[in-house]
């Protein structure tokens, strides 16, 4: 049977664009549909604009530290409108780059919503399009729980477009998105209260990372309410009243016109017409095998809509592996072992490999050895700032293999990226010990821990 396209991709985020371009490089005729803007969550509402705002939030600390190095005190004011305009202009620039990359790859872009008519046919805007293979790469969307007044809470997607900086913000949720925005806003001068249901933030990360980041956030002035449930949100003339139930009882938190809901994300599957296909779901996400194939043999899925490991580089790698396998004659799969990740809080944290709890569960407490180092980096000595860095290695006793590496402190992501290569190649603690450190640097601590 003849089709309009060899491959049609639904969703032009990081995973979708990577898949489309790689398949086209292999000679496939490719179309892609995106009803929003090119680049997906990472470029438009996530990694890129968030990291730019993280940079902005660090300048007050830089100004303070400069005095210890002989610079005169800096009196500076912050312009929210200037920052958000600059950030959004950078996003628009990146949208244009993605358009040119797709054009250069001869991928046909449809600026419309796509939904299934059957396993090989899609409704794309007012047109019908057929394809031999179809890839779903629609990503995820923020979760808003069904609570009274939740419509008055913005999500993490909306923070970049607020016309004015909030003076008081309530962050709902203790995941990495909520923590990152709590630190950003706090650094920019907003009074922040963060509401979390459990005792600690950053569920799923190593316990030392949780404790170190949470303690530093609290010390920086962020009020963290643990063991607290959201009861409702009420709009007022002065702003928003957020009713919560703490261990001490009910409390009303007063915020400005907005509060930020950062209560997780879910696959964005509404309106896709999956019921017209044999695609199956598991726990609300698209179920796939190791080759990203769904229960419908010609339909595939990558990225956050599969809810496997929701990271931009993972979606990109999944997409390229799919395209190589299906169109390049190179059968390969995505490996989810030792994938590094970072949390752009203040302080920054990064991790690769097993947490201590995961290592204990697999090998037992006697089967592992834990190395920790906590110190004040040289940068903070002259300003006499009590800022600490934490580094941690988890080692398998029997093989001496490093199972996990974790860090909280300046440049954690940059440092762990290099350490991740070592873990990916099976490095042992002896390999770390035999490596000469770069002195003076914080990173050398990873090869001098005894």
Claim to verify: residue 378 and residue 319 sit in the same structural domain? no
Asked whether the predicted pLDDT for residue 227 surpasses 90, the reply is: yes
The reported pLDDT for the residue numbered 257 is 73
Do 174 and 196 meet the contact criterion of CB atoms below 8 Å apart?
Answer: yes
Q: Return d(Cα 237, Cα 59) in angstroms, integer.
A: 33
Runs of H (alpha helix) within 328-391: 356-363
Claim to verify: residue 136 and residue 16 sit in the same structural domain? yes
> Rounded mean pLDDT of the chain?
96
- In DSSP notation, 382-445 reads TTT----EEEEEEEETTT-BEEEEEEESTTHHHHHHHHHHHHHTT-BHHHHHHSPPPSS-SGGG
Claim to verify: residue 128 and residue 20 sit in the same structural domain? yes
- The last residue of one of the domains, among 263, 295, 312, is 263
DSSP classification of residue 193: E
pLDDT grade, residue 158 (50/70/90)? confident
439 is catalytic: yes
Is residue 333, in this structure, part of any structural domain at all? no
**244-299: per-residue pLDDT in tens?**
999 999 999 999 877 877 788 999 999 999 999 999 999 999 999 999 999 999 99
The reported pLDDT for the residue numbered 261 is 76
Claim to verify: residue 10 and residue 133 sit in the same structural domain? yes
Q: Residue 90: is it exposed, middle or buried by C-beta count within 10 angstroms (0-12/13-18/19+)? A: middle
Is residue 391, in this structure, part of any structural domain at all? yes
Positive/negative CA dihedral, 431, 433, 438, 442: positive
Q: Return d(Cα 64, Cα 19) in angstroms, integer.
A: 46
**Catalytic choice (120, 227, 406, 439):** 439
The reported pLDDT for the residue numbered 393 is 98
pLDDT grade, residue 366 (50/70/90)? very high
Say whether the peptide bond before residue 347 is cis (omega within 30 degrees of 0): yes
Claim to verify: residue 274 and residue 313 sit in the same structural domain? yes
Is residue 332, in this structure, part of any structural domain at all? no
- The last residue of one of the domains, among 263, 278, 297, is 263
Q: What is the CATH number of the domain that holds 241?
A: 3.50.50.60
Predicted TM-score of the model (pTM): 0.95
Claim to verify: residue 39 and residue 132 sit in the same structural domain? yes
Q: How many angstroms separate the most distant Cα atoms in the chain?
A: 75
| Helix-, strand-, coil-residue percentages of the chain, each rounded to 5 | 35, 25, 40
- The last residue of one of the domains, among 263, 287, 309, is 263
| Domain range enclosing 242 | 150-263
The reported pLDDT for the residue numbered 396 is 98
Residue 366 sits at φ, ψ, to 5 deg, of: -80, -10
At 169, list the tokens.
């913000």
Q: What is the CATH number of the domain that holds 443?
A: 3.30.390.30
Question: Residues 191, 195, 201, CA angle at the centre, nearest 5°?
Answer: 105
Domain count, the chain: 3
Could you give the 3-state DSSP secondary structure of residue 129? strand
Q: Which residues lie closer than 8 Å to 361 by C-beta, 6 or more apart?
A: none
Q: Return d(Cα 102, Cα 42) in angstroms, integer.
A: 17
Claim to verify: residue 424 and residue 361 sit in the same structural domain? yes
Asked whether the predicted pLDDT for residue 98 surpasses 90, the reply is: yes
């Amino acid at each position: 049977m003849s089709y309009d396209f060899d491959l049609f991709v639904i969703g032009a985020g990081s995973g979708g664009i990577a898949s489309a371009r790689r398949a086209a490089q292999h000679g496939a005729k490719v179309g892609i549909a995106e009803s929003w803007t090119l680049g997906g969550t990472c470029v438009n509402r996530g990694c890129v604009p968030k990291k730019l705002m993280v940079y902005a939030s660090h300048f007050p600390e830089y100004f303070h530290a400069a005095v210890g190095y002989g610079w005169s005190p800096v009196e500076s004011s912050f312009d929210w409108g200037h920052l958000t305009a600059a950030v959004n202009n950078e996003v628009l620039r990146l949208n244009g780059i993605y358009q040119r990359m797709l054009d250069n790859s001869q991928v046909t872009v449809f600026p419309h919503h796509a939904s299934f008519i059957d396993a090989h046919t899609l409704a794309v805007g007012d047109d019908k399009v057929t394809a031999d293979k179809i890839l779903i790469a629609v990503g995820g969307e923020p979760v808003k729980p069904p609570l009274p007044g939740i419509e008055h809470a913005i999500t993490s997607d909306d923070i970049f477009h607020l016309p004015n900086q909030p003076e008081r913000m309530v962050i709902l949720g203790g995941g990495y998105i909520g923590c990152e925005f709590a630190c950003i806003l706090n650094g920019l001068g907003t009074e922040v209260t963060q509401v979390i249901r459990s005792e600690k933030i950053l569920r799923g990360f190593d316990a030392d990372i949780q404790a170190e980041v949470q303690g530093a956030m609290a010390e920086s002035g962020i009020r963290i309410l643990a063991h607290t449930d959201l009861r409702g949100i009420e709009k007022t003339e002065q702003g928003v009243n957020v009713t919560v139930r703490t261990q001490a009882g009910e409390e009303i938190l007063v915020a400005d016109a907005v509060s930020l809901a950062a209560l997780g994300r879910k696959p964005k599957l509404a309106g896709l017409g999956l019921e017209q296909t044999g695609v199956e779901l598991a726990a609300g996400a698209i179920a796939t095998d190791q080759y990203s194939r769904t229960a419908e043999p010609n339909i595939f899925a990558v990225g956050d809509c599969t809810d496997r490991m929701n990271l931009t580089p993972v979606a990109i790698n999944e997409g390229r592996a799919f395209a190589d396998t299906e169109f390049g004659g190179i059968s390969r799969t995505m490996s989810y072992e030792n994938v590094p990740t970072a949390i752009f809080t203040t302080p920054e944290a990064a991790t690769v490999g097993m947490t201590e709890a995961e290592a204990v569960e697999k090998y037992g407490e006697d089967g592992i050895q834990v190395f920790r180092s906590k110190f004040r980096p040289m940068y903070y000595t002259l300003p006499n700032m009590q800022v600490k860095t934490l580094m941690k290695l988890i080692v398998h006793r029997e093989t001496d293999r490093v199972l996990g590496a974790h860090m909280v402190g300046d440049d954690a992501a940059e440092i762990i990226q290099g350490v991740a290569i070592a873990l990916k190649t099976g490095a042992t603690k002896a390999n770390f010990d035999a490596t000469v450190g770069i002195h003076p640097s914080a990173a050398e601590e990873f090869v001098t821990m005894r």
